[in-house]
A and B are shown apart, each in its own frame.
Chain A
Amino acid sequence: GAVVSQHPSWVICKSGTSVKIECRSLDFQATTMFWYRQFPKQSLMLMATSNEGSKATYEQGVEKDKFLINHASLTLSTLTVTSAHPEDSSFYICSALGVAKDYEQYFGPGTRLTVT
């Protein structure tokens, strides 16, 4: 149990376009999901905390208008990178906290975004 999926697993887009990444908890409900960004050979950096039915809480230095997060249901959160630029190229990882599991984060497999 406790499987989290991400879609797509990789995406290439042109500069100026927007890209949406989905994070789903497949076998449990998640009131809270986290979005992370990882640069090569670095650890995960928390971007924002996504709570079902409310606005996301962004970490300092993360542009909320650039990285739009929507957590519309207990099993789905989306991250939209708007007007993407090459510097947005990165590995984006989500994790989910279960309603019943309330403490442990379960990680998705990640989405590799390349902006050309």
Chain B
Amino acid sequence: KNEVEQSPQNLTAQEGEFITINCSYSVGISALHWLQQHPGGGIVSLFMLSSGKKKHGRLIATINIQEKHSSLHITASHPRDSAVYICAAYTGTASKLTFGTGTRLQVTL
């Protein structure tokens, strides 16, 4: 079992839908990244959070340290949101990241 699990693995949504991607982890962490990767592209960090909630435009990230769970929400989804979303947690020392397997999102018109 991976230390960082994501669900769903694949997600298809219609434009305008509200999307939630979940991340759960089984070890203690100090912070967690939500990352975005478009096909053939590099990694973009959307959020880093260690508690509570952060919002940027149509994106919202929440984390519940006690429940070892984080969610990424996309409101009013758009085809340009189609990408792989990865949660990655700082699980140990030396600021190393442990990555989830990613959620492949496809938003259609």
- CB within 8 Å of B: which residues of A? 6, 32, 34, 43-44, 46, 49, 93, 95, 97, 102-110, 112
Q: Is the CB of A43 within 8 A of B44?
A: no
Q: Is the CB of A105 within 8 A of B44?
A: no
Q: Is the CB of B43 within 8 A of A43?
A: no
- A residues in contact with B40, CB < 8 Å: 112
Partner of B45, one of A44, A49, A106, A110: A106
Show 12 residue pairs from A and B whose CB-CB distance is below 8 angstroms, ordered by the A residue. A34-B97, A43-B86, A44-B86, A44-B99, A93-B43, A103-B48, A103-B95, A105-B33, A105-B95, A108-B42, A110-B41, A110-B42
Per DSSP, are chain A's interface residues mostly helix, strand or loop, or mixed? strand
Per DSSP, are chain B's interface residues mostly helix, strand or loop, or mixed? strand
- CB within 8 Å of A: which residues of B? 30-31, 33, 35, 40-45, 48, 86, 88, 90, 94-97, 99-102
Q: Is the CB of B96 within 8 A of A43?
A: no
Given contacts A43-B102, A103-B48, A108-B42, 15 further A-B contacts (CB under 8 A): A32-B94, A34-B96, A44-B43, A44-B99, A46-B96, A49-B94, A103-B90, A104-B31, A104-B33, A105-B97, A107-B42, A107-B44, A109-B41, A110-B41, A112-B40
